[in-house]
Structure 1
């Protein structure tokens, strides 16, 4: 097997920073409301603080995750950190229809066997036998990758 990269999907800079910025702004606004205009009950204030910190943590996780790139090789899908997303042998089919439960501008990979849950916000997620590729990625890149994967699966079968 070769290690040649056949297609890549990476987060576009404007979408990446818009997603991270909106999530960070939400976190900052929740914290501002919690301390500048505190609600009457302490539990509501604690709720706002926890929600604000969670939004800031999610913004940071999204920033780190979208630094990676998803690569399609002859072995399967992996990310630029070397983590295998799905091997070609595991992939059962690709879903990219309008009503498929897939990420924005992305596609869904159905696996033959379940894999461990994983989530890189804005790039890909995996739960059970489903792997979603996309999010803050350009639709042209994910469409090309999905078409390449479909051709590889047709060739395999």
Structure 2
């Protein structure tokens, strides 16, 4: 909860601050438009993060899904998992690679998908994502050995 509050408040503060600067200390017109655009974008990202982090990621025997029913990945389609220190993954999370690609989706602070790569984590507690990745690795090992 602390990470969620810190992330949402930080983005909101950034957005409000940029919009405030654009009106109170207006720079050249082009820069003023830029500040307004970035400020509004930060506020939009704040709202997207607020909505996304209100949800949870669920692991079932057949799929990894968002609580709203969005299927993130099917367990049978997962080819590999990367939890390494230098992996391109969300903080406190892990990276999955699937056999088939899917549409790009992003739940800020929770998960993202770009084609065949899926990142789980961000504002999630490290202990929970580590536990989920361990269970998922065991499910993949069982699947691969035919048990």
Per-residue deviation, 1:93: 1.0
Matched, 1:106 2:63: no
Matched, 1:21 2:9: yes
CA distance in 1, matches of 2:48, 2:26: 28
2:132 aligned to which of 126, 129, 145: 145
Matched, 1:85 2:72: yes
Per-residue deviation, 1:52: 0.3
CA distance in 2, matches of 1:128, 1:100: 17
CA distance in 1, matches of 2:35, 2:67: 36
Which structure 1 segments of 5+ residues have no match?
A: 1-12
CA distance in 1, matches of 2:140, 2:8: 35
TM-score in terms of structure 2 length:
0.97
| Runs of 4+ residues over 2 Å off in structure 1 | none
Greater RCO structure (CA 8 Å; 6+ sep)? 1
1:31 aligned to which of 12, 16, 19: 19
User: Counterpart of 1:125 in 2: which secondary structure?
Assistant: strand
User: Counterpart of 1:89 in 2: which secondary structure?
Assistant: helix
Which of the two has greater helix per residue? Answer: 2
Q: Tell me the number of residue pairs that the alignment of Structure 1 and Structure 2 aligns.
A: 144
Per-residue deviation, 1:89: 1.3
TM-score in terms of structure 1 length:
0.91
